[in-house]
């Protein structure tokens, strides 16, 4: 007798997966053992597996979102003359198109974890249940809340793994900041400094701003250069940007923030004329700057100075305003500080404004005030528009990442997780604002959190 082993079934079925593609089995098709196992585990499959893989529509939305972004990008370039002129409506439209791509990708991620979130429904921890309840209060549907809580809990597990590394990194960061504030630095003569300006004959006789790290150089070659172009857009022959490379003779001694503050305090206490000029100077500086952070610094510094207190806030305010030559008594105030520092053997100070307050988040920006004795011009060249644009993007990418680090550090994340988690948090905050504003304007709405966002991003 011949024995023949044959197999029959449905194309695509998998060995050992009774409930896998290309079916799912309905509840009535499951075996008694399967039903008992699910009941014992307290799990109810509220979402069928076919829905888990139903991502074609969302992928189509992602493709359309990317197409819309490219169209908005073209419009942005037309309305801003390639990024040279600010146009709020064009910028907002481009930003919204970028946010839409992120939202559609988030929806795809949610679809992929929908099934996993559902099967865990009956065995969630108290912490995760609290997250679910919180998301429902925000206006999410039960299913949306389950997915959001599942992803949040998963992220927290990943962050917990890197917590030890993050604590060490944060501690090192704090220690380094304290050292930088208290310890003088020395720039060796082999260092090449960079200055970006619209001046084709920039020298080193007067005080000048400089950078030296690769990323700082890129920021000034891109972001600052673009600002200079805008400022000279309507000046005949304006718009040209020059990069000056500057060599150092015998090295530069950089005063720490603490030592510079001590020198300023001594100068104010022994020179009443200078103290009076500084007082007028800081009063006039209040409200002159673009950011609230800078203006608040000026107000605090002026208040401290009027009380006779010279601390790091007063020094930082003066440092931030050193680029402003139109303030009352600016020449006297600037020269007095520079001469006092030179008398103590210093050649330069950190540019506190670009390191902390202006938004550049530069790493090692400098203000060199003893360049006539310690520096010389090595080369000078014209920087082209294409190079400026490339460095503009590179610089802003670094600023964006550094903006995220404090948020992520607070959750004890590390390495790449800092950037990913921080970016997700920023996107979540934006969406929360959109939903909150919609509900404020439509208090009777029955739309869920996700439905409001879908409507918002419709073109």
Joined together, the tokens standing for residue 26 give: 């309905």
Tell whether the model's pLDDT for residue 70 goes beyond 50. yes
Q: What's the mean pLDDT in 287-307?
A: 89
Nearest to 385 by CA among 76, 74, 90, 77: 77
Q: What share of the chain is helix, strand, coil (3-state, %, to 5)?
A: 60, 10, 30
- Residue boundaries of the structural domains of the chain: 254-346
Label residue 277 left, alpha or beta by phi (over 0 means left) and psi (-120 to 50 means alpha): alpha
pTM for the model stands at 0.54
H runs (alpha helix) in 138-234: 142-161, 163-182, 214-219, 225-231
Helix (H, G, I), strand (E, B) or coil at 351: coil
Contact 263, 340 (CB under 8 A): yes
Residue with tokens 């146009």: 87
Please name the residues in contact with 63: beta carbons below 8 A apart, sequence gap of 6 or more: none
Q: What's the mean pLDDT in 417-433?
A: 63
- Residue 459 binned pLDDT confidence (cut-offs 50, 70, 90): low
On average, the pLDDT of the chain sits at 79
Burial 193-228 (b: 16+ CB within 10 A, else e): bbbbbbeeebbbeebbbbbbeebbbbbbbbbbbbeb
Angle at 145 between CA 59 and CA 99, to 5 degrees: 45
Tell whether the model's pLDDT for residue 53 goes beyond 80. no
Joined together, the tokens standing for residue 85 give: 């002129």
Please name the residues in contact with 164: beta carbons below 8 A apart, sequence gap of 6 or more: none
Contact 355, 363 (CB under 8 A): yes
Tell me the C-alpha distance between 226 and 212, whole Å: 19
Backbone angles phi and psi of 453, in degrees to 5: -65, -40
Q: What pLDDT sits at residue 270?
A: 94
Helix (H, G, I), strand (E, B) or coil at 62: helix
Tell me the C-alpha distance between 401 and 429, whole Å: 16
Tell whether the model's pLDDT for residue 166 goes beyond 70. no
Tell me the C-alpha distance between 346 and 186, whole Å: 10
Query: For the chain, how far is it from start to end, CA to CA, in angstroms?
Result: 71
Each residue's pLDDT tens digit, 221-242 = 999 998 888 776 544 555 789 9
Picking from 69-73, 188-192, 424-428, which range would have the lowest pLDDT averaged per residue?
424-428
Each residue's pLDDT tens digit, 102-161 = 888 888 888 877 766 666 656 677 888 888 888 888 788 888 888 888 887 777 666 555
Contact 122, 65 (CB under 8 A): no
The residues pairing with 247 across neighbouring beta strands, listed in sequence order, are: 376
Tell me the C-alpha distance between 193 and 212, whole Å: 5
Residues above pLDDT 90, as percent of the chain: 34
Indicate the burial class of 287 (C-beta count within 10 angstroms; 0-12, 13-18, 19 or more). Answer: exposed
Indicate the burial class of 301 (C-beta count within 10 angstroms; 0-12, 13-18, 19 or more). Answer: buried
Tell me the C-alpha distance between 279 and 326, whole Å: 15
Backbone angles phi and psi of 188, in degrees to 5: -70, 155
Tell me the C-alpha distance between 67 and 373, whole Å: 57
Q: What pLDDT sits at residue 135?
A: 83
Beta strands 208-210; 252-255: pairing state: unpaired
Q: What pLDDT sits at residue 450?
A: 84
């Amino acid at each position: 007798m011949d024995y023949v082993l044959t197999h029959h079934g449905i194309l695509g079925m998998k060995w050992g997966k009774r409930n896998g593609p290309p079916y799912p089995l309905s509840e009535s098709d499951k075996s008694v053992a399967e039903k008992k196992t699910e009941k014992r585990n307290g799990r109810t499959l509220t979402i069928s597996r076919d829905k888990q893989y139903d991502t074609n529509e969302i992928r189509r939305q992602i493709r359309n979102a990317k197409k819309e972004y490219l169209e908005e990008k073209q419009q942005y370039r037309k309305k801003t003359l390639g990024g040279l002129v600010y146009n709020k409506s064009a910028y907002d439209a481009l930003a919204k198109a970028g946010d839409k791509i992120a939202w559609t990708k988030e929806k795809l991620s949610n679809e992929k974890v929908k099934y996993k979130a559902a099967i865990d429904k009956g065995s969630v921890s108290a912490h995760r249940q609290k997250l679910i309840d919180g998301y429902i209060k925000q206006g999410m549907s039960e299913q949306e809340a389950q997915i959001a809580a599942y992803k949040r809990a998963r992220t927290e597990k990943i962050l917990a793994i890197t917590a030890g590394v993050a604590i060490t990194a944060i501690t090192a960061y704090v220690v380094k900041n304290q050292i930088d504030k208290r310890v003088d630095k020395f720039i060796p003569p082999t260092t090449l400094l960079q200055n970006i300006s619209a001046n084709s004959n920039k020298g080193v006789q007067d005080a000048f701003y400089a950078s030296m790290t690769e990323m700082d150089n890129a920021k000034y070659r891109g972001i600052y250069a673009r600002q200079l172009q805008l400022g000279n857009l309507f000046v005949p022959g304006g718009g040209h940007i020059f990069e000056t490379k500057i060599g150092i003779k015998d090295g530069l001694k950089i005063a720490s923030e603490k030592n510079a503050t001590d020198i300023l305090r001594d100068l104010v206490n022994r020179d009443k004329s200078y103290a009076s000029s500084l007082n007028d100077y800081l009063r006039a500086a209040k409200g002159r700057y673009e950011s609230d952070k800078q203006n608040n610094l000026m107000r605090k510094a002026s208040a401290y100075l009027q009380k006779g207190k010279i601390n790091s806030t007063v020094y930082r305010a003066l440092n931030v305003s050193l680029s402003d030559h139109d303030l009352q008594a600016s020449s006297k105030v600037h020269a007095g500080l520079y001469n006092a520092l030179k008398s103590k053997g210093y050649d330069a100070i950190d540019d506190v404004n670009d390191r902390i307050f202006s938004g550049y988040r530069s790493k090692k920006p400098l203000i060199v005030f003893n360049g006539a004795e310690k520096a010389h011009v090595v080369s000078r060249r014209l920087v082209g528009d294409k190079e400026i644009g490339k460095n503009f993007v590179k610089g802003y990418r670094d600023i964006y990442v550094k903006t995220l680090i404090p948020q992520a550090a607070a959750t004890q994340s590390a390495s790449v997780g800092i950037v990913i988690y921080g970016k997700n948090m920023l996107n979540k905050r934006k969406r929360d604002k959109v939903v909150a504003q919609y509900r404020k304007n439509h208090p009777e709405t029955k739309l869920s959190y996700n439905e409001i966002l879908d409507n918002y991003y419709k073109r």
